Amino acid sequence: MATCPNGHPSVEQDYCDVCGSPMSGGQVSAPPPAAAPSGEPCPVCQTPRAAQYCEVCGYDFNAPAAVIPEVPEVTEVPGPATAPTPLGRATRWEAIAGSDRAYFDKVVAEGGPDAATMAFPPYCPERSFAMLGQHVRIGRHSASRGTRPEIDLSGPPQDPGVSHLHAVLMLRDDGGWDLVDPGSANGTHVNGKGLAVNVPVPIKAGDRIHVGAWTVITIRENSP
């Protein structure tokens, strides 16, 4: 094992593996420099000194004093601009449920097994339902099935022609809505036109959806 000029035994033959000084064939060519105070912190990374070179960043404690470059303060880099909100995403949609006497009279006039027993409610206050999420179900809740649609028309008064799952409003990628009837017993109408089963139909603000014997749902679009 060779000895470096500073008197350290070193396995390496080119530079001392203790202090990093160039090796000179094991001969001491110069007296070792004055040792720095024990535990002197490295001016670069603040690691306590153990030898000539800092064990962490390699700083030479015996080198002439040099100006340590300041690390620039890291400031928050602004992120990319917020992506534009898809059409309709920032809009608050709501469904207003109420009763429609004209539609009820039409249903009764068309007949049916229950037409004679149906009665139009003398009082049916409007109810507002927020259209939130990807799917908004229209129907009546069922305790036995443990289901409660987002637009719950259970009443009172209760429309006897509304199925437990009568129709579903589905949010599109562009922020608009489609309406689908999955196979209700009495059908679904939009602006007077019946829907085919399982065929989505685009819905816009102001559209009137008729379900059951007398229920009408009006779609509203409100600015945030």
Condensed to tens digits (0 to 9), the pLDDT of residues 30-68 reads: 444 444 455 678 776 677 777 776 665 666 777 655 444
* Domain residue extents for the chain: 92-222
CATH T-level assignment (fold) for domain 92-222: Tumour Suppressor Smad4 (2.60.200)
Cβ neighbours of 131 (radius 10 Å): 20
Q: Determine the Cα–Cα distance for residues 181 and 167; give it in Å rounded to an integer.
A: 4
The residues near 147 (Cβ < 8 Å, ≥ 6 apart) are: 141, 164, 165
Condensed to tens digits (0 to 9), the pLDDT of residues 61-72 reads: 776 554 444 544
Condensed to tens digits (0 to 9), the pLDDT of residues 110-163 reads: 887 677 788 999 999 999 999 999 999 999 998 888 889 999 999 789 999 999
pTM for the model: 0.59
In single-letter form, the type of residue at position 167 comes to A
Helix (H, G, I), strand (E, B) or coil at 103: helix
